[in-house]
Structure 1
């Protein structure tokens, strides 16, 4: 995303948060506050639409007596679902004085021109709506749809309005069908468009709503975009699948994602873009469906996305592109889980970057690099229709690893697994280094979790972290890594239970050729090369996890002397910068300490 878009998103968030703040004493949850904010903003929008001809007494003002009645009359006049009964009931919970304050604030924003470019497409993120996605992921998926001007875009199971807003901004025509109504799509459409949309609220499996009644079949639409990661269970499975009038469920797919795709195949004549959990790509439950997609030349591309982008999947997910209108003799596999498309943001989450370049790489067969490969149908079928990207791509990093001389990890280091220690109020105090304590750069600075354990400190001496110990997460956020500094507290820090400690044996290694300096090993493990080496240990797993037996046999490329020295230099320079940043943060927090202090005397 460019800087202008980032600025607009920040302004949109700030605006809604200002309205949030005025409702801080109201008995509303976050989603209800979002609905109230968007409903009042929608009122401002339709009041300023010249083409609508809204009566003057229904336009936004501060002299209303009963806002619920006003919104009822607006709904009766416009038939706009933004002002439906469900939304009106939420507004009726708000104190009258608060409503007047909110309307006054919105009128001020409007007169200052702040609302002219307001776009609440990602408001669901503030409301903590289940299924909300990072803005960049939604941008990427909509970009993959390519040209959508004037086209109907099917958005099944749309709960957040994020796809709706972007489709409208690209002048597409969203058709939303979902078994779970949230209100976001209607409200967003009213605010950013002059054409309110109709959201179908029904069970897509038992009672699909986008139907051509004259022929008794699902109406064909040209494009679909869907988040299938949060799909719930299929109710009345046997009845629906065995007696489906539209013959959708004929591919013997067992997962809810598979059945959702079966529905989309019958609804769409064109491109289908959806995101799925990694297990859909390789498990036996969906093999028949995957084989059908490949044999029928419907499958266009599979994109392996970076881990840490979304909260609902600790393991990586993938975006799949189908095309029911144009045959694909080869399938494009793209690995986006590389540094070029990842930026680390606060709280050690990942952010998708270089979206336009990634989109070109996926769509345009002329664009090639080591992270993309076009694979024949025969090769895919030989692998039982396995669609895991890493099954087909041997990228530059892997090639480099193969060419380097390597040595097994166990030959120069030992692995130390954390133990579960019983807690006791009168036990010894220790601190646990968790995944959240492992910084992206430099040394580990702190252990955030303290606890008292009932054990003699001497009995767990080997478990305490020592300088140059490497902490590697092997469960959950697999691959996160940190190194213990020289000034770490003695016999106090322990590794978290989802981690393993790699302790390089100086006594054994310094006298051998096949030995890796611990600082160089740490820098290697966190590099693109290290990420690739570790990723291959749990490729295809439903849950990210590395077995200790695999890890100890891991072949580590031997760095040269120059590479070792350079790695040490970079790490020390990072440590210096790290301390400077911490000092600046401390100074920053101290600047305002003396202002408006509470007098405790």
Structure 2
């Protein structure tokens, strides 16, 4: 009944002009006042019980002002919620609710459950918070928790938490009182004005768990002038993910568990430089990728980075928790389960097919510091394919061809009609000829000359739809590729034949390799760099001829299939119409 009664109270408070968030904070504030009254408020006039018998709503301002001299809860309340909107009726209902209700849900859980997508400020589920704390896997006397608005971390440690962020101080004060947790909190812009300082230096903490905001953008130009010398990589442009991480490193002496958007594991630019920085210092202990849609209020996939500044080996442990055994669906929300099993695997660094593997640092360096989980965790099929490829010498695509990502060419509505091919236009078999959307090009003619297609060009879809392949035939009309496509043009003379490369890329082996290169969930993609570095087996001329025969045979087989489909269609179309009624 608690939830139903609370929902009713929220509706009543809504009539007074309180938002859902304010209503929940108001009710839980009175609950915290009652707990304080039982334990610490010495003056009977200011105890919660007195409000039920003697106080009216006009007395509250005075009472709270007096209590704020001793308890910060009341000062934080004054900053967060304006009580002058509260009606006498609502006040009495809250008092009775707090008196009568024996079991209150945790404030954090109520925010997540009742505010739905409002939970953007409280989006870390209890399971993710628990996993983050347990991944520290070490003893510590205090815990640093910067940037986090989700203080359910406090549910999973008995140690004192030092926290700083933009979070609502009232929520933290309520959690401290109702959940009996030890949090020292400072409300500040950490990147601009960190608050935990010793002398002229940042205070160091043995261990850190942090859930920084995802994809926040920089609005400051003060990074280069940082007096604490935190920002070795980040220079003040774009996403703040790396800046958040560098601050965490600056205040962590030993271990840190940091939740980042999965894109930080593979994106180029400053994030690639940051990964190189981590590997160069040998601080990265593990990458633990969480399932998609696990966080509340965002579909962004996330990954734990486990940092160990005292690491004494040269391996990185990779875990992929997208396996169905770790996921449970409760209503519309995904929940992470079997956390104890995950931690057991982590402690023992178990290698499990398709779930976890230990990777030497040099292998990560050879992969240009990519931490994409697909690069390092393998299924039985992946291992089988690897053994097949070991039987051949190989060369990278860039050694045997030029690779170019197509660029946008606008439709000018006048000029030369030009076909723009998209992955949906690719033929399933054989050559792909003139097809796609028709654009007219005039002023951009020089750009067209750079990106036009030629016979025997091999097209690979590398954005959105991953891995579709086409071989351009003897086209007669101007043709370009859409931005979702990488164009491979073999060097002359050919080391391998275009038909062979086409058949390789669309084979199960080729598709498996392309899938491994794919990163991202919302919009999967493969970079030009990855396509260039893709290794292609170089078989003998005889084996290439066999692949080209397969190309022709596939065309014939598909034509036979089309004929059979047409016959089946005719049977269904002419049903009853061809029956003899004589």
TM tier relative to shorter chain? 0.5 to 0.7
Residue 506 of structure 1 is matched in structure 2 by none
Q: Does 1:540 align with 2:525?
A: no
Residue 199 of structure 1 is matched in structure 2 by 185
CA distance in 2, matches of 1:475, 1:62: 61
Change (3 A) 1:245 1:81: farther
Shift of 1:293: 0.9
Change (3 A) 1:218 1:159: same
CA distance in 2, matches of 1:81, 1:210: 24
Shift of 1:233: 2.2
Shift of 1:79: 3.2
The CA deviation string for residues 470-529 of structure 1, in whole angstroms up to 9 with x for no partner, is xxxx969x9xxxxxxxxxxxxxxxxxxxxxxxxxxxxxxxxxxxxxxxxxxxxxxxxxx9
Q: Does 1:394 align with 2:386?
A: no
| Partner SS for 1:290 | helix
Shift of 1:279: 1.7
| Partner SS for 2:214 | coil
Q: Does 1:157 align with 2:139?
A: no
| Partner SS for 2:285 | strand
Change (3 A) 1:534 1:198: same
Match of 2:111 among 116, 124, 127: 124
CA distance in 2, matches of 1:148, 1:411: 60
Residue 124 of structure 2 is matched in structure 1 by 133
The CA deviation string for residues 443-470 of structure 1, in whole angstroms up to 9 with x for no partner, is xxxxxxxxxxxxxxxxxxxxxxxxxxxx
Residue 183 of structure 1 is matched in structure 2 by 170
Residue 343 of structure 1 is matched in structure 2 by 328
Change (3 A) 1:74 1:364: farther
Match of 2:224 among 238, 242, 264: 242
Residue 457 of structure 2 is matched in structure 1 by none
Q: Which runs of 5+ in 2 are unaligned?
A: 389-425, 431-436, 438-462, 467-507, 532-582
Q: Does 1:97 align with 2:89?
A: yes
The CA deviation string for residues 88-110 of structure 1, in whole angstroms up to 9 with x for no partner, is 52x33221211111111111124
CA distance in 2, matches of 1:333, 1:369: 12
The CA deviation string for residues 146-167 of structure 1, in whole angstroms up to 9 with x for no partner, is 4567x3221112223333x425
Contact persistence 2:163–2:186 (CA under 8 A): yes
Match of 2:155 among 150, 166, 179: 166
Structure 2 counterparts to residues 122-521 of structure 1, below 5 A: 122-125=109-112, 126-127=114-115, 128-131=118-121, 132-146=123-137, 151-163=141-153, 165-167=154-156, 170-181=157-168, 183-193=170-180, 197-213=183-199, 216-230=200-214, 232-237=216-221, 240-252=222-234, 255-282=239-266, 283-310=268-295, 313-347=298-332, 349-366=333-350, 368-396=352-380, 398-399=382-383, 410=428
Shift of 1:367: 6.4
Contact persistence 2:73–2:170 (CA under 8 A): no
Match of 1:78 among 46, 71, 76: 71
Change (3 A) 1:403 1:378: closer
Residue 422 of structure 1 is matched in structure 2 by none
Change (3 A) 1:535 1:275: farther
Change (3 A) 1:219 1:35: same
Shift of 1:78: 2.3
| Partner SS for 1:171 | coil
Count of matched residue positions in the alignment of Structure 1 and Structure 2? 409
- Of residues 203-212 and 249-258 in structure 1, the stretch that sits farther from structure 2 once superposed is 249-258
Shift of 1:260: 0.7
Shift of 1:205: 1.4
CA distance in 1, matches of 2:514, 2:188: 41
Shift of 1:122: 2.5
CA distance in 1, matches of 2:195, 2:286: 29
Residue 101 of structure 2 is matched in structure 1 by 109
- Of residues 127-136 and 377-386 in structure 1, the stretch that sits farther from structure 2 once superposed is 127-136
Q: What's the RMSD between the two structures over aligned residues?
A: 3.7
Shift of 1:133: 2.3
Change (3 A) 1:245 1:13: farther
CA distance in 2, matches of 1:106, 1:355: 35
| Partner SS for 1:189 | helix
Shift of 1:201: 1.3
Change (3 A) 1:54 1:233: farther
Contact persistence 1:305–1:319 (CA under 8 A): yes
CA distance in 2, matches of 1:42, 1:409: 67
CA distance in 2, matches of 1:133, 1:184: 15
Shift of 1:366: 4.7
| Partner SS for 1:62 | helix
Contact persistence 1:305–1:316 (CA under 8 A): yes
Change (3 A) 1:363 1:77: same
Change (3 A) 1:192 1:56: farther
Residue 498 of structure 2 is matched in structure 1 by none
The CA deviation string for residues 60-88 of structure 1, in whole angstroms up to 9 with x for no partner, is 33132232322222221223467542135
Match of 1:69 among 62, 67, 77: 62
Structure 2 counterparts to residues 15-94 of structure 1, below 5 A: 16-17=6-7, 19-49=9-39, 53=42, 55-60=44-49, 61-63=51-53, 64-65=55-56, 66=58, 67-80=60-73, 83-89=76-82, 91-94=83-86
Contact persistence 1:343–1:351 (CA under 8 A): yes
Shift of 1:46: 0.8
Shift of 1:180: 4.7
Residue 522 of structure 1 is matched in structure 2 by none
Ranges of 4+ aligned residues in structure 1 off by more than 6 Å: 400-404, 532-535
Contact persistence 1:124–1:184 (CA under 8 A): no
Residue 450 of structure 2 is matched in structure 1 by none
